[in-house]
């Protein structure tokens, strides 16, 4: 017996949403003086290590 009978498939979207920023977008965040240094460092670590939010939280 198939447990997926009657389950609708995921909605199809027109385009794929991007998961990561383009390098130029990331550099803009890394260099932005209006953002506190602690947040910029967090973004740098996240970008270069590809850690997920839960994994980053453990580093704190």
- pLDDT, tens digit (0-9, with 9 covering 90-100), for 6-55: 999 888 777 767 677 889 999 999 999 999 999 999 889 988 998 888 88
On whether residue 37 sits in a domain, the answer given is: yes
Amino acid 11: pLDDT? 80
pLDDT for position 60: 66
Residue 7 lies in a domain: no
- Does the residue 33 lie in any domain? yes
Q: Is 53 contained in some domain?
A: yes
38 within domain boundaries = yes
Q: What pLDDT does 52 receive?
A: 86
Which domain, by its residues, includes 48?
23-59
Contact predicate 43/29, CB 8 Å: yes
Nearest to 48 by CA among 37, 40, 60, 36: 40
Residue 8 lies in a domain: no
Q: List Cα–Cα distances, 26 to 44, 46, 57, in angstroms.
A: 8, 11, 20
Q: Is residue 48 part of a domain?
A: yes
Q: Are the C-beta atoms of residues 59 and 45 closer than 8 Å to each other? A: yes
Q: How many domains does the chain have?
A: 1
Is 3 a domain residue? no
């Amino acid at each position: 017996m198939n447990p997926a009978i009657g389950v609708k498939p995921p909605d199809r979207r027109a385009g794929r949403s991007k998961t990561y920023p383009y390098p130029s977008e990331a550099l803009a965040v890394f260099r932005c003086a209006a953002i506190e240094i602690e947040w910029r460092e967090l973004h740098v670590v996240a970008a270069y290590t590809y850690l997920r939010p839960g994994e980053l939280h453990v580093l704190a």
